[in-house]
Amino acid sequence: MINRPLIKLFFYFRQVHFPFLREWGWVFLFFFVCIFARAQAATFRQEQADKLKHKISTLSQSKLQRIQLLDSTKLKLQSMSDPEMIKLLLIQGLGLVKEGQTKVIFQESETP
């Protein structure tokens, strides 16, 4: 047997609360969808910012290495007017030897 007060309570709830949901339900749904989309966009933006920070750090390291290489090259070019430095660069770069010195070349043997 169905309890009459429960049926009355059900109809009361249906008359009072469901019209409210029917009128404002789409608004609440739209609001929650907007909040979800905003959270996803913030996560995506943070991931992109982290990737860009990593790229900036690698590029700055590369920049420092290239600046050091440029400085060393400038020093070598400036020292080209000194004859002693030219001789040193020829000895190091081309493997030349000074007059009166003996050059020794070590070769690895191909047999194990």
The answer to whether residue 84 is domain-embedded is no
Q: Which of 104, 101, 85 is nearest to 93 (CA)?
A: 85
Residue 59 lies in a domain: yes
Any domain includes 11: yes
Which range of residues forms the domain containing residue 13?
Answer: 4-68
Q: What is the pLDDT of residue 60?
A: 97
Q: Considering the domain boundaries, does residue 36 fall inside one?
A: yes
**43 part of a folded domain:** yes
Which of 94, 64, 90, 65 minimizes the C-alpha distance to 79? 90
| Total of domains in the chain | 1
Q: Which of 6-20, 31-45, 60-74, 80-94 has the lowest mean pLDDT?
A: 6-20
Q: Residue for token digits 């020292």?
A: 79
Q: How far is 63 from 69, CA to CA, in rounded Å?
A: 10
| Domain-embedded: residue 48 | yes
| Chain segment 53-106, per-residue pLDDT in tens | 999 999 999 999 999 999 988 887 787 788 887 777 777 777 777 788 888 778
Residue 80: DSSP 8-state? G
95 Rama sector, left if φ>0, alpha if ψ -120 to 50, beta otherwise: left
